[in-house]
Amino acid sequence: MTVDREQTKGVMRSPPSRAHMIAAASIGNALEFYDFIVYGFFASAIATSFFPGNDATTKLLLAFGTFGISFLARPVGAFVLGMYADRRGRSACMILSVSLMTLGGLMIAVMPDRATIGYAAPLGILLARLIQGFALGGEYGSSTALMIEHSPNGETRAASWQGISQNVAGLMASGVAWLLNHEAGSLPFHIDAFRIAFGIGVIGGPVALFLRRRLDDAPAFHANRHKAMAHGDPPTVSGIAIAAGMMAIGTAQTYLVIYLPTYAATQLHLTAGTALGSVFLLYVATLALTPLRQYIAGHFDRSQRSIAMILSCVAMLAAGYPAFMVLAHWPGPVTLFAIPLCFTVLGLCYNAPLAGFMGMVFAIRRRGIGLSVGYALGIAIFGGCAPMINTWLVARTGDPRSPGLYLIFAAGVTIIALLAARRRLPRFVAR
């Protein structure tokens, strides 16, 4: 059997396998999700260490505000790095983005607290989050585009590994946070637990660079690359708006899980260990659904029909407020596990094909910038501000069930976006 080979610095080597390509492409998304989950899980500790304020709620709002503000850097990074991905290649963009991402995580891990360096501490955390936000603006779009373009007739199934990698990262982050919370009093040298958690994430940066150094872009990208340089035309505003809207309920649902430990402590008066244990078990159960997730994505590749995605969003819309009513009436670890798992199951038909469907909304020559900017705007609008909005809603209304209203709103936005997206699919999938 003949094996294609490439000449690199005089050494003949075979191109990376499909498994290598999937792992290298999805690890950046996993690192992103790990860092964001860790930040959300340790929000109270980060607020105490770095942010000023007269009470815990003010500090927490500042911590979540920094979490949200950093997402404003995503659209900037998406535009710059998305254009870079369309011109220089997906793999080149992926190496650059993961390098910047690792730098931001390292800054958070080693930043002195406010008692040591004063207001330079929260400013340093904000700078680190802005660097990460800029880097992550181009990470998802370039890596998803690479997987799609390497997988003709199986685009959605390949891109679904982005969601699976997020579940793996969630399992790791909640497990690390759970363990560190349990051992917080016995950590050596009085090291803050969140610093260890971020340090573990930083280790993944070199691993990602090692996996990505042998990646090459797909033949479909190379065939269309000259068109991107010749035309230089940006993706349509409507396409970007559709992609951002497609992200709404998935992002709100994802970042609700990040907010749950804080919600459990402040509203349900549960211990952090109980909340983190419930979230850890949630990710175990979610990963058990991986074969079903892959089957649903493969079915979308064959049918190219979005009706199941729309019905899934309708189900999440209907369950939004009632779910928080149940949680308020029966607070406890079982309910804290069961409610997010219910949303995971209800949202499976939506989440499984999402990444591939969103990428195929754009023509190949404009996919890097279109997918990057659309995803970044969706995350920034519906995800980055979600913990702060949920905290504000509860404080403003006095109703611990009010975060359910945000889920209802996000589901409605996504349904409208999906109806618009399915009209574009036949037009752009092959270009």
pLDDT of residue 267: 67
The first and second tokens of residue 8, run together, are: 């690199």
pLDDT value, residue 407? 82
pLDDT block averages, 10 residues each, the chain of length 431: 42 68 90 80 79 70 72 87 90 92 89 85 87 87 91 89 88 83 55 83 90 87 66 68 91 70 69 74 89 93 89 88 79 80 90 91 86 88 72 75 80 92 61 43
Other CB atoms within 10 Å distance of the CB of residue 8: 10
350 CB burial (10 A radius; 0-12, 13-18, 19+) = buried
Q: What is the pLDDT of residues 167-204, one digit of tens each?
A: 898 888 888 887 887 665 555 445 678 888 888 889 98
Of 344, 381, 369, nearest to 247 by C-alpha is 381
Instruction: Quote the pLDDT of residue 428.
Output: 45
Nearest 5°: the CA angle 427, 220, 348 is 60
Fold of 19-428: Growth Hormone; Chain: A; (1.20.1250)
Q: What is the pTM of this model?
A: 0.79
Calculate the average pLDDT of the chain. Answer: 81
Render pLDDT for 288-338 as a digit per residue (tens, 0 to 9). Answer: 999 999 999 999 988 888 899 999 999 988 887 787 788 777 877 788 788
| Confidence (pLDDT) at 348 | 92
